[in-house]
Amino acid sequence: MGLFNMFSKDIGIDLGTANTLVNVIRNSLEEGLIDDVVLVSDEKMDEEYHERTRRDDSKRLVHWDTPIEDHKDVGRTTRAGINVALNIASRVEGKDMLIIGYDKADRYDV
Q: Using H for helix, E for strand and C for coil, what is the string for 33-91? A: CCCCCCCEECHHHHHHHHHHHCCCHHHHCEECCCCCCCCCCECHHHHHHHHHHHHHHCC
Q: How far apart are CA 78 and CA 74, in angstroms?
A: 6
Contacts of 5 by beta carbon, 8 Å cutoff, 6+ apart: none
Cβ contacts of residue 26 below 8 Å, gap of 6+?
2, 3, 4
Is the pTM higher than 0.85?
no
pLDDT of 10-38, one tens digit each?
555 555 555 677 788 888 888 888 888 88
Q: Is the pLDDT of residue 109 over 80?
A: no
SS3 5: helix
d(CA 86, CA 4): 24
φ and ψ at 43, to 5 degrees?
-60, -45
| Structure confidence at residue 1 (pLDDT) | 43
